[in-house]
């Protein structure tokens, strides 16, 4: 049977039930209120008129187009209107006939009974589900849930937990900071205290999971509440923010595991979409490294700003293929081109620029893993320095409008080859930009990105899934963090501010201790740190430092219209010396010289070459026997 046929039969059955309801209500009211009740012709006509009028009123009030499992006050309100209209019609009939057939008492009883019966018919599905849920709670194991937030979102979630036949959750208490609500019941669930009392409530009600349902509350407050919840030693889930909930519906499916970024307590970054649209719309945009974490998110956001053509260029075909397919599914009309190429190959890069004439370039292709680059410094130089040089020179030659270099805070006073090569990239961009007649060259400098390939959060989650331990290089190491979408949206906005030769610095908020991230992630997963899951400090890796800096001493900051984006003052460079040392560096890198780090230091005097033994000794990792620990640090 088709869906249309099923729907039609449901409607016919409901109309039949209403006919029986009207008949029963009319008979009950008539025989209860009329002393000399007789079933003569006028009474049969009255009954038939009520059946016809009742069905028409119920149709007019859309009482046959409802989903039974979600019947609530709106539907009951329509039932009140239909019943009242039926009552008014019968009242007029009683007054006109001067009570010859029915009395006003008959009308009152009839109206009350018909409302109760049609309401029961429409609530019977929910009543059945409620009874099943009660039996389920009593006979089968359910998960006892505390709901944090007694507002509309919390109410909607409790409603779904109680009404859904498939739900295995049982809401047992609510925590809410509105003192006027304290002690009151929400659909039978008691508001037992404030969010400052979640630990007590969790123990008192034997809570097994906590749902934080405060989508409209600011990030900082939610962060504080989540931190209190993690002390309860049970899993915590959270509803996303209002801006993330496209249709506004609150369901159990929308709950997600609390992530570490929920504890950072920083508001979501906002950008001026009009400014971004102004320079990307109808332009040919090239993203190098378009398959990587930052590159792929750049492609996602650029795709929403109506480019003429989006070109994804990457050396790793699997990543490039994945983002290509994702973008095609999201917008089949997008003019998308995916190219497999290396930024090291100058001839190929020049061919790309000559054929497709990109107007905007985001250069995200780079080797970024600090420890790996320490053991392969020549590869870092080839890819980061000379790959950037190839792309930048082609951008200048083919009159690209805007060139945006993705940089890092590790370029400031670098202690690793990756950061030092990125500083050279900034120097190249500033130098070429100073002489370019057509292209605005800028670099954007920011810190660690949560969830990016090789970042600490995915590693922690993998270690947690394996039962631990979680490894931290040093207990006091701190980093600046930002989510991938936030970082990319600011990169796009920085491109709108480009005037040439600038280094934009993103405000990453307050620095975060990596040890605290590991500790909080364990707590949020319902375990006790260093009891259930250990946190082990392994020692700083090659090229790693305890903290990152956003600026060098010579640089000052100038604010832009977006308070989270600042401009670093360019440092004067000896251009002749720069090109001479770059030529020397190219020769050494391609000759696989062991002294390439020394040549990099000539270009970047603030670069401190990592002395692994001395780093290990400073952190007390090397013992007198030293061999095993020295191997670990190396």
The residues annotated as belonging to the active site are 410
Other CB atoms within 10 A of residue 486 CB: 24
Q: Identify the three-state secondary structure at position 619.
A: coil
Q: Does residue 30 contact residue 43 with C-beta atoms inside 8 Å? A: yes
Dihedrals φ, ψ of 319, to 5°? -65, -45
Report the half-sphere exposure of 633 (CA within 13 A, side-chain side). Answer: 24
Three-state SS sequence of 120-182: HHHHHHHHHHHHHHHHHHHHCCCEEEEEECCCHHHHHHHHHHHHCCCCCEEEEEEECCCHHHC
Which of these, 164, 261, 257, lies nearest to 212 by C-alpha position?
Answer: 257
Dihedrals φ, ψ of 311, to 5°? -110, 120
Q: Identify the three-state secondary structure at position 353.
A: helix
Q: Identify the three-state secondary structure at position 570.
A: coil
Name the E strands within 345-484: 360-363, 402-408, 440-446, 448-450, 470-472, 478-479, 481-483
Name the E strands within 535-588: 535-537, 557-559, 565-568
Q: Identify the three-state secondary structure at position 558.
A: strand
* 387/444 Cα distance (integer angstroms): 17
Q: Does residue 412 contact residue 549 with C-beta atoms inside 8 Å? A: yes
CA angle 503, 506, 512 (to 5 degrees): 135
Which residue stretches of 266-385 are H helix?
273-280, 293-303, 317-330, 346-356, 370-375, 377-380
Dihedrals φ, ψ of 292, to 5°? -75, -175
* 170/444 Cα distance (integer angstroms): 49
DSSP 529: B
* 502 DSSP β-pair partners: 442
- CB neighbour class for 223 (10 Å; exposed up to 12, middle 13-18, buried from 19): middle
* 234/144 Cα distance (integer angstroms): 11
Name the E strands within 29-101: none
Token output for 379: 């590869």
Token output for 622: 């090397």
Which of these, 514, 538, 542, lies nearest to 372 by C-alpha position?
Answer: 542
Q: For the packed helices 417-435 and 596-603, what is the interaxial angle rounded to 10 degrees?
A: 40
Dihedrals φ, ψ of 481, to 5°? -130, 150
Q: Does residue 588 contact residue 393 with C-beta atoms inside 8 Å? A: no
Strand order in the sheet with 336-340: 336-340, 309-314, 284-288, 360-363, 402-408, 440-446, 502-506, 565-568, 557-559
Distances (CA, A) of 138 to 168, 203, 329: 12, 21, 46
């Amino acid at each position: 049977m088709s869906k249309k046929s099923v729907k039609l039969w449901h409607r016919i059955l409901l109309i039949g039930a209403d006919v029986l309801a009207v008949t029963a209500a009319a008979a009950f009211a008539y025989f209860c209120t009329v002393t000399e009740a007789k079933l003569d012709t006028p009474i049969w006509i009255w009954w038939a008129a009520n059946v016809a009028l009742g069905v028409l009123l119920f149709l007019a009030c859309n009482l046959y187009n409802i989903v039974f499992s979600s019947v609530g006050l709106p539907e009951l309100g329509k039932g009140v209107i239909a019943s009242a209209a039926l009552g008014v019609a019968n009242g007029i009939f009683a007054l006109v006939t001067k009570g010859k057939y029915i009395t006003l008492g008959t009308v009152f009883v009839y109206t009350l009974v018909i409302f109760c019966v049609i309401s029961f018919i429409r609530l019977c599905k929910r009543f059945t589900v409620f009874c099943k849920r009660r039996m389920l709670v009593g006979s089968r194991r359910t998960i006892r849930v505390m709901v944090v937030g007694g507002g509309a979102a919390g109410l909607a979630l409790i409603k779904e937990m109680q009404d859904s036949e498939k739900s295995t959750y049982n809401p047992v208490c609510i925590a809410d900071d509105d003192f006027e609500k304290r002690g009151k019941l929400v659909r039978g669930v008691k508001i037992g205290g404030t969010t400052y009392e979640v630990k007590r409530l969790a123990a008192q009600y034997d809570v097994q999971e906590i749902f934080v349902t405060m989508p409209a509350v600011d990030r900082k407050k939610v962060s504080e509440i989540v931190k209190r919840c993690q002390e309860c030693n049970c899993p915590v889930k959270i509803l996303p923010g209002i801006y993330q909930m496209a249709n506004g519906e609150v369901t159990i499916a929308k709950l997600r595991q609390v992530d570490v970024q929920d504890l950072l307590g920083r508001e979501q970054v906002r950008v001026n979409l009009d400014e971004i649209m102004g320079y990307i719309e109808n332009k040919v945009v090239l993203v190098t490294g378009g398959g990587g974490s930052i590159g792929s998110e750049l492609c996602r956001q650029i795709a929403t700003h109506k480019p003429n053509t989006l070109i994804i260029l990457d050396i790793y075909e699997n990543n490039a293929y994945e983002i290509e397919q994702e973008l095609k599914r999201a917008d089949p009309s997008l003019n998308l081109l995916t190219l497999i190429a290396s930024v090291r190959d100058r001839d190929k890069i020049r061919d790309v620029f000559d054929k497709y004439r990109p107007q905007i370039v985001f250069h995200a292709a780079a080797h970024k893993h600090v420890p790996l680059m320490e053991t392969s410094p020549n590869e870092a130089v080839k890819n980061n320095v000379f790959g950037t040089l190839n792309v930048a020179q082609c951008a200048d030659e083919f009159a690209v409008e805007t060139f945006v270099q993705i940089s890092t805070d590790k370029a400031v006073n670098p202690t690793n080859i990756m950061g030092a090569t990125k500083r050279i990239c900034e120097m190249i961009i500033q130098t070429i930009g100073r002489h370019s007649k057509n292209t605005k060259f800028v670099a954007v400098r920011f810190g660690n990105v949560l969830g990016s390939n090789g970042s600490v959060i995915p590693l922690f989650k993998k270690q947690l899934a394996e039962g631990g331990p979680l490894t931290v290089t040093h207990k006091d190491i701190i980093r600046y963090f930002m989510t991938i979408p936030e970082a990319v949206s600011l990169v796009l906005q920085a491109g709108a501010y480009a005037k040439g030769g600038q280094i934009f610095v993103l405000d990453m908020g307050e620095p975060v201790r990596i040890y605290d991230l590991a500790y909080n992630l364990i707590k949020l997963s319902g375990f006790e740190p260093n009891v259930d899951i250990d946190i082990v400090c392994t020692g700083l890796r090659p090229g790693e430092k305890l903290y990152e800096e956003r600026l060098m001493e010579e640089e000052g900051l100038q604010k832009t219209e977006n308070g989270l984006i600042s401009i670093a003052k360019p440092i004067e460079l000896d251009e002749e010396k720069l090109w001479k040392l770059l030529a020397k560096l190219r020769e050494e890198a391609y000759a696989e010289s062991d002294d390439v780090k020394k040549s990099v230091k000539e270009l970047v005097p603030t670069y401190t070459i990592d002395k692994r033994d001395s780093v290990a000794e400073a952190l007390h990792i090397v013992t007198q026997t030293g061999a095993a620990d020295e191997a670990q640090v190396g």
